Amino acid sequence: MTIRSIRNKLVVTLSLSIAGLVLCILLAIDIAVDSWIDDEFDRSMQAKANMLMTLIREDSEGLFFDFSSQYMSEFNSQIEPEYFQIWNNENIVARSKSLDLFPQKNLPFKNLDMGTSKILENPLPDGRDGRIIYIKFIPEVSPNQQLDTNKVHKKGRGKGLTLAYAASSEEVNFILWLIDVIFIITTITVIIFIRLFVRKAIDTALAPLSKLNADIGQLRIVDKNARISIDEPIKELSPIVDSLNLFIEENRQLYLREKRLTSDIAHEIKTPIAELINLAEVSIRFPAEKELAVSFKPEVLQISLRLQKIVENLLLLHKYNDGQLAKKDACDLNQVIMRILEHSDVSALQFHLAKELPAIVSNLFALESIISNLVNNAKQYSPRDSKVIVATYNIEQSLVFSVSNPLYNPLDSSDIHQLFDPFWQKDTARSSHNNFGLGLSIAKTLSSAINAKLEVAVKDNAITFKLVLPIK
């Protein structure tokens, strides 16, 4: 499976996006500048052609072209000359002296409609690339002929003239080519700069993330002071750091819990094993003692059964830890309670069972185990001659089974948090061969397995466990 890089994806995405935007802007500027230069050149040709048109007059004797190459040397020079030619129909009326300098003596004729103009790309007589503007116009009448319109028409004024003005476009083309080259070089330079800038910016922005990754790699869960911190608060990283620190703390607590659990298991199993070893050694040393032989087997059986009970409880605890049990048993909560407790000493119990509780669908095995463990725990850790209150009631969409008993030893807040830890006992002196500190842990685990809540509260030197069961 290919590993994707967020950094590379950001670099490529941002580089392409910014480069594409800059390329579009530069392309638009290039097109606009090219068009502007082209238009300016065409306007300059139009202006020069209009100026030539103003030099043509018509009077009663015919056409008069008031042109002097002395003041317009571009039409007579051998260095970058310009050209013009005037036709009346297809008959040449006038042309520039610059046309005589080259083998091609005339500009090509173009027939146009009256009052129109056209610019064409065309090689000049000297071989350079150029443009020719053609204009079809009627020459201006001399002032002394303005009133004699009939005479003017008789002279053919209305037929119109065609003017062609030609100039080199090589300089314009060179400028346009130079602009295009500058555009290409600028585009490549900008793309390279954007690539480097984006890469540097992303590396700088991701530096705290890289440091965070390095800090995580150096963490050791066994270190009590292990904690992630960032030198400069960063809005996007702060929630991640907080979540990681919470995760580290939870896992450290789990590690310490498992470490303590392993130690407790070893301690609980060590005692009966030591008892078995002692019995075996005594039996071997005094094989002739009949009384010892009689009591040996029952004691071995009792110790073995205790070991079996510890192992069964541990297996039960780990089997349903973070698991789910199927809820397929429809039952009456009050009937389940009375059936479980009918063989126990009910003289120490006081019942407050609500009448007409709705039936629930749950897991009967888990329900019976939870009730049995909670009641046995209450009996074990209640003062002598005290009463354990067993109650049921209905709240909203849930049924509640509660067990309350007075405390033999007061519990503080730290004790409350450890009540459901395996093998934890407030007063180890009150431990018995039948209680190993696993009952509440098993009850908590099975409660989670049937989607029920097991809550605990201490008030007025009394402790109450509540099992909240959803009706549906």
The yes-or-no verdict on residue 170 having pLDDT over 70 is yes
Domain range holding 361?
329-470
> pLDDT, tens digit, for every residue of 17-63?
888 888 899 899 989 999 999 999 999 999 999 998 888 887 777 77
**Contact (Cβ atoms closer than 8 angstroms) between residue 283 and residue 296:** yes
Tell me, yes or no, whether 59 lies in a domain.
Answer: no
Residue indicated by tokens 């007059």: 57
The verdict on 161 and 175 lying in the same domain is no
Does a structural domain hold residue 232? Answer: no
Let me know whether 352 and 461 are in one domain: yes
Q: Tens of pLDDT along 301-342? A: 777 777 776 676 666 666 666 677 788 888 888 888 888 887
341 and 464 together in one domain: yes
For residue 63, being part of any structural domain is answered with: no
**Does residue 425 belong to any structural domain of this protein?**
yes
pLDDT at 151: 37
Last residue within a domain, chosen from 283, 301, 319: 319
* N-terminal to C-terminal alpha carbon distance within the chain: 44
- Residue 128 neighbours by CB under 8 Å, 6+ apart: 168, 170
Instruction: Note whether 385 and 258 are same-domain residues.
Output: no
Work out how many domains the chain is built from and give that number: 4
- Are 334 and 411 in a shared domain? yes
- Residue 176 and residue 32 share a domain: yes
Q: Is the pLDDT of residue 118 over 70?
A: yes
User: Which residue intervals of 116-226 are DSSP H helices?
Assistant: 149-154, 170-217
pLDDT value at residue 35: 92
Of 168, 186, 206, the residue at which a domain comes to its end is: 168
Residue 384, domain member (yes or no): yes
Identify any residues that bridge with 408 across adjacent strands, giving them in sequence order: none
Q: How far is C-alpha 163 from the chain's CA centre?
A: 69
249 shares its domain with 148: no
373 and 461 in a single domain? The answer is yes
| CATH, residue 314 | 1.10.287
* φ, ψ at 117 (rounded to 5°): -140, 160
Kindly state whether residue 324 falls inside one of the protein's structural domains.
no
Using the Cα atoms of residue 314, residue 315, residue 317 and residue 318 in order, give the sign of their dihedral: positive
Higher-pLDDT residue of 233 and 98 is 98
pLDDT in tens, 70-93: 778 888 888 889 999 999 888 888
Q: Report the CATH number at residue 411.
A: 3.30.565.10
Residue 251 shares a structural domain with residue 388 = no
Residue 301 and residue 210 in one domain: no
Q: CA quadruple 17, 18, 21, 27: dihedral positive or negative? A: negative
Same domain, residue pair 50 and 138? no
Decide which of 280, 297, 319 is a domain's last residue. 319
Q: How far apart are CA 45 and CA 278, in angstroms?
A: 123
Mean pLDDT, rounded, of the chain: 80
Q: Is residue 466 domain-shared with residue 348, that is, in the same domain? A: yes
Is position 105 within any domain? yes
Is the pLDDT score of 230 beyond 80? no
Tokens of 85: 């030619």
Q: Which spans in 326-392 are helix H?
A: 333-341, 364-380
Q: Please report whether residue 118 resides in a domain.
A: yes
User: Dihedrals φ, ψ of 410, to 5°?
Assistant: -60, 150
pLDDT of residue 459 exceeding 90, the answer is no
